[in-house]
Every structure is written in C-alpha cells, then in structure tokens.
C-alpha cells in the first residue's frame, strides 16, 4: 500500500480533526479528479506499519480521527490499520469512490463516503451530488453537514 500524502484535515469529517492518508492505486480514474496522482499504484511512498503507527502516536491527543482516501483495494492492510487506529482511540473514516464497501471494512468505520466524482453533480458540498457521507452505525446520511446554511 502506497500513499502520496499524509495531512491533518478539518473539513472531510465534520467536527473531527483527521489524519488523512491519501492512498495510491485508485482504479476509478474519475474525469475531473482532483488527485490523479492517486491513480498509479506505485506512486508515493510505502505505508509501512512503522510510518503508520508513528504518525498516529505523533498526533495522539491532537487529532481524533483517521481518514483513508481510498485504500479499500488493499483490504487486508486497511483492516489492520483501521483496527490499530480504533485500538489507539481514534475514530475512523473511509472516502471511497465505490458505491458499496465490504462489510469487513464497514465494521471498523465510524463514517464512510461513497460515490465516484461526477463533475456535473459536484461533491458533498453540492445538493445535487451522487456521493453519500454516512454514519456507519446508524446508516444515517449526513450530507447536510457539508452544505452551507445547514
């Protein structure tokens, strides 16, 4: 599993400060994608267990959520990383362009974003979007949190 970037983000999971891992190897290749660097599997650097655990340790008490931008295609590794995050007290989220995410992954998530990028429909901040931001345990759609004047 390779990543192009690790960032602290404030808007992708409303109300949470998230450590965001942008994972390479996305096969969807959506037209208008803001991160085509994520398309090629070998781009970036390898996300080793040491890099991952050190990152979570560094931000413990500062961030409270771990967010993966993709990576569901590396299910075994992703499951291990999600388990570790939860063990360390982090909430978890996955942004996927797929419509469905495997149940084994969902069981380890607090939130999931599904749906590929379609330029004409926009992202989560558009009332027309095809994308869904869901609280996993309740299956509640939370797209309204991304809209202005919600």
Tell me the domain boundaries of the chain.
Answer: 2-146
In angstroms, rounded to a whole number, what is the distance separating the alpha carbons of residues 17 and 19?
7
Q: Indicate the pTM of the whole model.
A: 0.94
| pLDDT 10s digits, 23-64 | 998 887 777 777 766 766 888 899 999 999 999 999 999 999
| pLDDT 10s digits, 61-113 | 999 999 999 999 999 999 999 999 999 999 999 999 999 999 999 999 999 99
Cα atoms in the 13 Å half-sphere on the side-chain side of 122: 9
Contact between 23 and 71 under an 8 Å Cβ cutoff? The reply is yes
Q: DSSP letters of 53-107?
A: HHHHHHHBTTB-EEEEES-GGGHHHHHHHHHHHHHTT-EEEEE-SSS---HHHHT
Topology, domain 2-146: TIM Barrel (3.20.20)
Contact between 106 and 139 under an 8 Å Cβ cutoff? The reply is no
């Amino acid at each position: 599993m390779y990543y192009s970037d690790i960032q602290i983000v404030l808007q992708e999971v409303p109300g949470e400060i998230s450590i965001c891992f942008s994972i390479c190897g996305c096969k969807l290749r959506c037209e208008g994608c803001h991160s085509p660097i994520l398309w090629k599997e070998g781009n970036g650097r390898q996300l080793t267990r040491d890099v991952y655990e050190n990152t979570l340790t560094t931000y413990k008490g500062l961030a409270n959520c771990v967010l993966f931008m993709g990576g569901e295609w590396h299910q075994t590794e992703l499951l291990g990383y999600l388990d570790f995050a939860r063990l360390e007290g982090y909430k978890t989220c996955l942004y996927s362009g797929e419509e469905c995410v495997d149940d084994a992954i969902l069981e380890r998530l607090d939130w999931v974003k599904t749906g590929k990028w379609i330029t004409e429909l926009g992202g989560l901040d558009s009332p027309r979007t095809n994308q869904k931001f869901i609280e996993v345990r309740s299956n509640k759609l939370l797209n309204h949190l991304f809209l202005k004047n919600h």
